[in-house]
Chains A and B, each alone.
Chain A
Amino acid sequence: MSQESFEPRLVGFLCTWCSYTGADLAGTARMTYAPNVRIIRVMCSGRVDPQFVLKAFLEGADGVLISGCHPGDCHYQEGNYKALRRHRLLSRVLEQFGIEKERFRLEWVSASEGAKFQQVCNDFTEHIRKLGPLNLNGKGGSRHD
């Protein structure tokens, strides 16, 4: 696939209290932004099991975004801090698997930050477009690859 025709496939896990509402605000305010992030609503960024992230990459995601409430604002007190710790540790592990840490992003977006959500989606999409496709697409483990 040439660089020009490559459309990054991104998966975004958004917490329902802040970031999903923020994304909704971007929509109702009719902000335009890159349509590459496939949004999955979760109750809390702390609910995102690292297995979800690995599965997303395996199934063909070029990048994975987790987005939650700003530090101190978690609806469940500290789910977002758990997400932060998991993100940093999983980023290191992903690099050992040959997946660049730029492909796995954590962002804080509050319910009132539609514009920030717009900027995060645009920025992430452009970064991954430059980085190129990951191409795992369900393989990774037959004996010859």
Chain B
Amino acid sequence: MTDSKPKVAFYWCSSCGGCEESIVDLAEDILKVVAAVDIVFWPVALDFKKKDVAALPDQSIAVSFINGGVRMSEQEEMARLLRRKSQLVVAHGACAHLGGVPGLANFWNKETIFRRAYLTTPSTDNPDKTVPLERTVIEGKELTLPAFFDTVQALDQVIAVDYYLPGCAPPRDLILKAVTAILEGKLPPKGAVLSPNKSLCDDCKRNKTKPEKLAIKEIKRPWELFLDPEQCFLAQGVICMGPATRTGCGERCIEANMPCRGCFGPTDQVFDQGAKFLSAFASILETNDENEIERLVGSIADPAGTFYRFSLPSSILRRKRMEAVR
């Protein structure tokens, strides 16, 4: 370890661990990264503690890659600490970027989530109705847990974020490109999402099979039909978030014959990915008859959860109205 190498930190907030995996998945290339930088903090892989980070001078970390949304007080505290110690903060992956799948919890709140998770699921066996508490006294000793918030937030709703690496999880080529750009100091303007600013359909191989005018007569879920491996998903009546989603993922889902679910978030021109997709999708429903429109719209199992699968906390409304949560 020498002082001349740039210091790098990795941290996870409310996420599944897949983004950590995306770094390990750099495989041999991680050795190049490790050779070029000095990793000062990475709880999933290295034994550094919070106090080690706290002891560093402010701004002394060149870049912190933080994945996961912010759902608990501990994550907020760590995000703030890393922000203070870092010159650059990169929101790594869909959850830090947009809120991600854990952000779908914003259709509920702390009380309803605790009730479900600790009391009412069919597999719960909790006769004493114990739920996690922020403070508990056992045998005269006080134990504490981080606070659980009502609302999941994207990272940039808590701290300033310099760059965004999109994806669930971000693909290896984008991570490598970002790391190289940071090491070489060849960075785009701050606030940029480090992936091309156009929609997935622009790059999708199936785009050429898309008919001149898309017209959906029936809405299908992927398990309800044998998906054609070459035809545009929307032409098959399957909800594909491609039109409202940023490209750069390498079409991993499409290659696996699954429609886009929107993990890269919207392009720069769009505020609200879900609303924008809703707009595009409604316009290609093949009917002008009011009853038929209502039937088709009613046949979508969970429109808000589908359109906002990764982006609810960063959407315009951000969450379900608290007064309406039951």
Interface residues in chain A, defined as those with a beta carbon under 8 Å from any beta carbon in chain B: 49-51, 53-55, 57-58, 71, 78, 81-82, 84-86, 88-90, 92-93, 96-99, 134-136, 140-145
Between A and B, 24 residue pairs with Cβ closer than 8 Å are A50-B276, A50-B278, A50-B279, A51-B272, A54-B316, A54-B317, A55-B271, A85-B285, A88-B293, A92-B298, A93-B304, A93-B307, A96-B302, A96-B303, A97-B317, A98-B324, A98-B325, A140-B319, A141-B106, A141-B313, A143-B70, A143-B151, A144-B150, A145-B150
Flag whether B288 is at the interface (Cβ < 8 A). yes
Pairs of residues from A and B, 6 with the lowest C-beta to C-beta distance, nearest first:
A98-B324, A141-B318, A98-B321, A96-B304, A85-B282, A50-B275
Closest to A71 in B: B288
Give chain A residues whose Cβ lies under 8 Å from the Cβ of B64. none
Flag whether B107 is at the interface (Cβ < 8 A). yes
- CA–CA, A84 to B296, complex, Å? 13
Given A51-B271, A89-B282: A141 and B151 interface contact (C-beta under 8 Å): yes
- CA–CA, A142 to B321, complex, Å? 12
Give chain B residues whose Cβ lies under 8 Å from the Cβ of A81. 288
Q: Tell me whether B320 and A86 are in contact (CB under 8 A).
A: no
Query: Would you give the 0/1 interface string for B265-287, flagging 1 where the beta carbon is closer than 8 Å to chain A?
Result: 00000111011101101110101
Q: Tell me whether B297 and A143 are in contact (CB under 8 A).
A: no
Given contact pairs A82-B282, A86-B279, A143-B149, a sample of 9 additional A-B residue pairs in the complex whose CB atoms are under 8 Å apart? A49-B279, A51-B316, A89-B278, A92-B303, A96-B302, A97-B324, A98-B323, A141-B318, A144-B149
Closest to B72 in A: A143
Give chain B residues whose Cβ lies under 8 Å from the Cβ of A50. 272, 275-276, 278-279
- The A interface, classified by DSSP as helix, strand, loop or mixed, is helix
Interface residues in chain B, defined as those with a beta carbon under 8 Å from any beta carbon in chain A: 70, 76, 106-107, 149-151, 153, 157-158, 270-272, 274-276, 278-279, 281-283, 285, 287-288, 290, 293-294, 297-298, 300, 302-305, 307, 313, 315-325
Closest to B149 in A: A143
- Smallest CB–CB gap between A57 and chain B, Å? 7
Contact partner of A89 (CB less than 8 A), chosen from B151, B272, B281, is B281
Number of A-B contacts (CB under 8 A): 118
Q: Tell me whether B107 and A96 are in contact (CB under 8 A).
A: yes
Q: Tell me whether B316 and A55 are in contact (CB under 8 A).
A: yes
Q: Tell me whether A140 and B318 are in contact (CB under 8 A).
A: yes
Given A82-B282, A93-B274, A98-B325: A57 and B317 interface contact (C-beta under 8 Å): yes
Give chain B residues whose Cβ lies under 8 Å from the Cβ of A97. 304, 317, 319-321, 324
Q: Tell me whether A54 and B272 are in contact (CB under 8 A).
A: yes
- CA–CA, A53 to B106, complex, Å? 20
- CA–CA, A142 to B313, complex, Å? 10
Q: Tell me whether B283 and A98 are in contact (CB under 8 A).
A: no
- Smallest CB–CB gap between B311 and chain A, Å? 12
- Smallest CB–CB gap between A73 and chain B, Å? 13
- CA–CA, A6 to B305, complex, Å? 33
Give chain A residues whose Cβ lies under 8 Å from the Cβ of B316. 51, 54-55, 58
Closest to A96 in B: B304
- CA–CA, A29 to B323, complex, Å? 42
Closest to A52 in B: B275
Give chain B residues whose Cβ lies under 8 Å from the Cβ of A49. 275-276, 279
Q: Tell me whether B288 and A145 are in contact (CB under 8 A).
A: no
Best-buried of A51, A99, A134 by chain B (most CB within 10 Å): A51
Best-buried of B279, B303, B305 by chain A (most CB within 10 Å): B279
Closest to B276 in A: A51
Give chain A residues whose Cβ lies under 8 Å from the Cβ of B158. 143
Q: Tell me whether B321 and A99 are in contact (CB under 8 A).
A: yes
Give chain A residues whose Cβ lies under 8 Å from the Cβ of B157. 141
- Smallest CB–CB gap between B55 and chain A, Å? 28
Best-buried of A82, A97, A144 by chain B (most CB within 10 Å): A97
Closest to B150 in A: A144
- Smallest CB–CB gap between B20 and chain A, Å? 24
Give chain A residues whose Cβ lies under 8 Å from the Cβ of B305. 96
- Smallest CB–CB gap between B96 and chain A, Å? 15
Give chain B residues whose Cβ lies under 8 Å from the Cβ of A51. 270-272, 275-276, 279, 316
Q: Tell me whether B293 and A85 are in contact (CB under 8 A).
A: yes
- Smallest CB–CB gap between A52 and chain B, Å? 9
